């Protein structure tokens, strides 16, 4: 398998899932400004959507959309416990979390990356994120991971998004449980390996 990624982007979630899986894989960096891969290929020619992540499977097919990819990876190695079994209520809860993170947390950060966004738009985006942090924090105050059964690929996705606070000067001091969650996640060997590979950790 070949992961197309951009350091620190949402593709980090898939990178973490691959590290957690123990499966062999390769990675290729994508410059999203130029839409070129590290080997010089036109990324639009590989993935018409033009964004990361994308995962090239061994049969040559391409998977896109992080929430789908991480579940695919988890199902390849059920013994690793990265996702509850398909068809179970716990799996539905996983999908519920992945959907929430994608629609409210991930997308909520979008305006904050654009330096040309007006101050009032940025303030509104921050307020929306903080609303969801208020909702999320009590849940992570009572358990170490999102699912009651323990770590799952949803945690890799939430970590990826919350970690952006460190790059955007957004303080989590108001939400100690979220800060503790980030610390706990950052101590996982797979997370450390993915961060190192992306040049985000010494």
Residue 137: CB atoms within 10 A of its CB come to: 18
Helical (H) or strand (E) element with 27: strand 26-31
75 and 139 assigned to the same domain? no
Domain extent, residue 99, equals: 89-188
Per-residue pLDDT tens digits for 4-39: 999 999 999 999 999 999 999 999 999 999 999 999
pLDDT tens by residue, 34-50: 999 999 999 999 999 99
Query: What SS3 state is found at 42?
Result: strand
Looking at the fold, whether 60 and 125 belong to one and the same domain comes out as no
Burial class (CB in 10 A: 0-12, 13-18, 19+), 170: middle
Segment 177-191 shows an average pLDDT of 98
Q: Same domain for 118 and 45?
A: no
What pLDDT was estimated at residue 30?
98
Number of domains in the chain: 2
Cis peptide before 169 (omega within 30 of 0): no
Q: How confident is the model at residue 201 (pLDDT cuts 50, 70, 90)?
A: confident
Quick one: DSSP state of residue 147?
B
Same domain, 101 and 178: yes
CATH number of the domain bearing residue 110: 1.20.1050.10
pLDDT tens-digit map of 87-101: 999 999 999 999 999
Per-residue pLDDT tens digits for 47-97: 999 999 999 999 999 999 999 999 999 999 999 999 999 999 999 999 999
Q: How far is CA 53 from CA 12, 33, 131, 143, in A?
A: 8, 15, 27, 29
């Amino acid at each position: 398998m070949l992961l197309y990624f951009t350091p620190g982007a949402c593709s980090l979630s898939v990178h973490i899932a691959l590290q957690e899986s123990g499966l062999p894989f390769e990675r290729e960096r994508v410059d999203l400004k130029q839409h070129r891969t590290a080997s010089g290929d036109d990324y639009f020619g590989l993935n018409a959507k033009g964004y990361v992540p994308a995962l090239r499977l061994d049969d040559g097919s391409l998977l896109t959309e992080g929430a789908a990819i991480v579940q695919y990876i988890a199902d390849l190695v059920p013994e690793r416990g990265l996702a509850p079994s398909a068809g179970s209520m716990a799996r539905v809860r996983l999908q519920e979390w992945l959907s929430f993170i994608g629609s409210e947390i991930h997308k909520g950060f979008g305006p904050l990356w654009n330096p040309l966004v007006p101050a009032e738009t940025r303030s509104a985006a921050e307020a929306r994120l903080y609303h969801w942090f208020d909702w999320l924090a009590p849940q992570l105050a009572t358990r170490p991971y999102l699912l009651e059964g323990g770590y799952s690929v949803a945690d890799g996705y939430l970590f990826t998004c919350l970690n952006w606070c460190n790059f955007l000067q957004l303080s989590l001091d108001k939400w100690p449980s979220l800060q503790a969650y980030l610390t706990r996640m950052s101590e996982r060997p797979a997370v450390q390996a993915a961060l190192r590979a992306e040049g985000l950790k010494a």
